[in-house]
Amino acid sequence: MHPESDAWTTPSWNSPDRGNEPHGSLLRLGRIGYINVLPVYYALEQGLIAHDMEMVYGTPAELNELACRGELDIASTSSIEYARNWRSYYLVPHLAIGSRGPVQSVLLLSRKPLDQLDGGTILVSAQTHTSATLLRILLRRHVGIRPRYENGDISSLLRKGETPEAFLAIGDEALLLRDHQEYSYSLDLGQAWLEWTGLPFIFGVWVADAASVRNRAAAVRQACHKLYRSKEWGRTRTKFFADLAADRGMLDRRRLASYFRGLVYELEEWELRGLDRFFELLCEEGEITEKPGIRFFPSPEEIRRNEKNGHT
């Protein structure tokens, strides 16, 4: 398929039985079902970079669960999942999803000013782990309020005409709801984090399962190289992905182009500083009992060296 083809078949994002399938000979690659990871996976999904991996689609929470159970060889997972179970994983080098300011797709939307939410209720999607934890930390330590949190399906409630006091929206849902007329007040968590810490925020990372690395090191290494190549193909094609998503009804091209430009797909020194600060806060808040180590497979240098030499 030509790289600029507009063919894009949206996969079935919710596959509750996939995680129960037995391991076969193919590596299983977890893929979040949001448009923000299109630049990472598109070249693989469209055959622009040949591979023999099985794609497993799901929400961040679903992939976290599959990865935690060792049912994925490589997966895009929440940063907090790595923090909680880091000895079970290796980070895939040079690959993350985050922002250095407004992220636009992780939003607290409210019908009243944020300071009036103190003691109020915020609805939080069960699809997210990292964003929900970040919201609690930001509101308590940066904004200075202590609301209550409840899990719920905001889109379902809004379709029924119910309007909760405030809610956290993530992913495609946030892009579609951010201008909802009932919600005049908002907090972009990526921007709030930058204002508070001066650092980028990394919402998700890619991890290789430690057991898979032990048992199938060569195959996992090759898969990591292919993921990196796919990301490098996609990260400079903002207009292409904006057009692609717009053609499928996801907002207009201008706003989508702004969205993709604001995303970070790197995991370099500055991003690692932001991730490290988040891990420190998780320890301080009692979310984890120890600060996780940072370990990669393969090494970041090997990824760069193979790319320079044109190896897969």
DSSP states of 6-53: ----------TTGGGSPP-SSPEEEEESSGGGHHHHHHHHTTSS---P
The whole-chain average pLDDT of the chain stands at 90
State yes or no: pLDDT of 150 exceeds 60. yes
Per-residue pLDDT band at 250 (split at 50, 70, 90): confident
> How does pLDDT run across 189-200, given as a tens digit for each residue?
999 999 999 999
pLDDT of residue 310: 63
Instruction: Work out the average pLDDT over 227-243.
Output: 96
Per-residue pLDDT band at 113 (split at 50, 70, 90): very high
Instruction: Work out the average pLDDT over 100-127.
Output: 94
Q: What is the DSSP string of 53-112?
A: PEEEEE-HHHHHHHHHTT--SEEEEEHHHHHHSGGGEEEEEEEEEEESS--SSEEEEESS
> How does pLDDT run across 32-50, given as a tens digit for each residue?
999 999 999 999 999 999 9
- How far is Cα 203 from Cα 264, in angstroms, rounded to an integer? 10
Alpha-carbon separation of residue 133 from 81, 170, 254, 257, 289 (angstroms): 11, 13, 31, 28, 15
- How far is Cα 201 from Cα 282, in angstroms, rounded to an integer? 14
> How does pLDDT run across 66-103, given as a tens digit for each residue?
999 999 999 999 999 999 999 999 999 999 999 999 99
Contact between 221 and 297 (Cβ < 8 Å): yes
The residue among 126 and 154 whose pLDDT is bigger is 154
Contact between 42 and 2 (Cβ < 8 Å): no
- How far is Cα 125 from Cα 152, in angstroms, rounded to an integer? 5
